[in-house]
Amino acid sequence: MNKKHLWGVLLVLAISGYVLYVDLKATPVKQLLAAARNINLFALLLVFCLMLLSYGCEATILSILTSRKGEPKRSKWAFFRIPIIQALFNAITPMSSGGQPAQLAAMVQMGVEGGRATSLLLMKFIIYQIVVFVAYVVTIVSGFHLVASKFAAMAFFIIIGFLLHISSILFLLAALFAYNWTKKAANWLMDLLAKFIKPERVEKWRQATMAKIDTFYTESQKLKKEKKKLCLSLLLTILQMLCFYSIPYMVLVTLNVHASWLAVTQMNIMITMFMAIIPLPGASGGAEYSFQTLFTAFVSSNGALVLGMFLWRFVTYFFGMILGIFGWIFKPQKIKSSRND
């Protein structure tokens, strides 16, 4: 971690601390104490278990994709530290931009050659994006009315986040399944941009875009040949996302608030879309605001709402940061591949 990352940590703590201070200042202590006394400790334990299981699923996916005949056996810790390191760097960099480079560094540290590590992470990313694409589309079709009818301003920003996500996912899917058309479309777009922007800069963008399209396509062809790995990874990714998206519902159970799992999960997915357009590390400020805005539909007590927001934010964000710091410090034994990639 460098100074930029440390500034990211401080910025996140400062913004989150300020939001918490404002909430606590506006919330009577009696309400907070009443909500705290009502906590279901077993459900609280399950909240943390869901987050750990989400990380465990991601680690297992990487283990499956990495495995091959003649490959040396690596420890479970070596794989588990990859998603928690990603959680740390996603949390402290704007738009979660540091997560994937941190994963790559973690895989190299455990002995996977850099080129192959990049390829494996790209395979995992493709699978993840396909699952997320389905989840977003289903949620918008079936649950958007929950937000639009009560929180019109929030609905607007959720739509923007949805369009950003879907645009990137559709580009990825086009590169996988319509390779030639995607390259032609990208070239046409670059030619159009060259009329308004310096041609030298556009040419750099063109080369980078073409390289990414080629890489996505190449890795997708590899993935198609690994049908067993593909199916297992797909199932584990679905389980991973179910665990993560179910955390707010379990937080409400912890507070003994009765709600529909489906409705709460739909709300959580839409919060994720909204957080995508906040350019601060960890979407600080916006994440807390969106949680409180949307979950007033389920929680009547302001004390329970603030406590629920804090529990949700800690488990899905700060808990990963803490684990990620330990993951970064305690490196596994470096075991090189037994054959050249």
Whether residue 277 is contained in a domain is answered as yes
pLDDT score of 159: 79
Whether residue 129 is contained in a domain is answered as yes
If one counts the domains in the chain, the total is 1
* pLDDT range class, residue 282, cuts 50, 70, 90: very low
DSSP string of 200-239, one letter each residue: HHHHHHHHHHHHHHHHHHHHHHHHHH-HHHHHHHHHHHHH
Section 110-128 average pLDDT: 83
8-state DSSP, 339:
S
Structure tokens at 16: 């989150």
Whether residue 269 is contained in a domain is answered as yes
Section 37-61 average pLDDT: 94
Which tens digits make up the pLDDT trace of 266-278? 888 887 776 665 5
pLDDT score of 235: 95
pLDDT score of 238: 95
Section 2-9 average pLDDT: 58
pLDDT score of 37: 82
Q: Is pLDDT larger for residue 208 or for residue 300?
A: 208
DSSP string of 293-313, one letter each residue: HHHTTT---HHHHHHHHHHHH
Residue 14, classified by CB atoms within 10 Å of its CB into exposed (0-12), middle (13-18) or buried (19+), is exposed
Whether residue 225 is contained in a domain is answered as yes
pLDDT score of 30: 74
Whether residue 340 is contained in a domain is answered as no
8-state DSSP, 150:
T
Range of the domain at 239: 3-329
User: pTM for the whole thing?
Assistant: 0.81
Which SS3 state, helix, strand or coil, does residue 49 take? Answer: helix
Query: Which of 19-33, 43-57, 310-324 shows the lowest per-residue confidence on average (mean pLDDT)?
Result: 19-33
What whole-number percentage of the chain has pLDDT above 90?
A: 19
**C-alpha of 178 from chain center:** 26
Whether residue 285 is contained in a domain is answered as yes
- Calculate the average pLDDT of the chain: 81
Whether residue 274 is contained in a domain is answered as yes
Section 175-187 average pLDDT: 85
Location of structure tokens 């807390």: 288
Whether residue 336 is contained in a domain is answered as no
Section 301-320 average pLDDT: 85
Nearest to 118 by CA among 128, 104, 129, 97: 104
Task: Give the torsion through C-alpha atoms of 51, 53, 59, 62, to 10 deg.
Answer: -110
Does residue 178 register a pLDDT over 90?
Answer: no
Contacts of 307 (CB under 8 A, 6+ apart): 32, 35, 36, 255
Distance of CA 16 to CAs 44, 174, 281, 284, Å? Answer: 21, 38, 11, 6
Q: Is pLDDT larger for residue 337 or for residue 237?
A: 237
Contact 75, 333 (CB under 8 A): yes
Distance of CA 326 to CAs 12, 84, 226, 321, 332, Å? Answer: 19, 9, 33, 9, 12
Which range in 1-10, 41-50, 263-272 is most confidently predicted, on average pLDDT? 41-50
Structure tokens at 4: 């930029």
pLDDT score of 63: 93
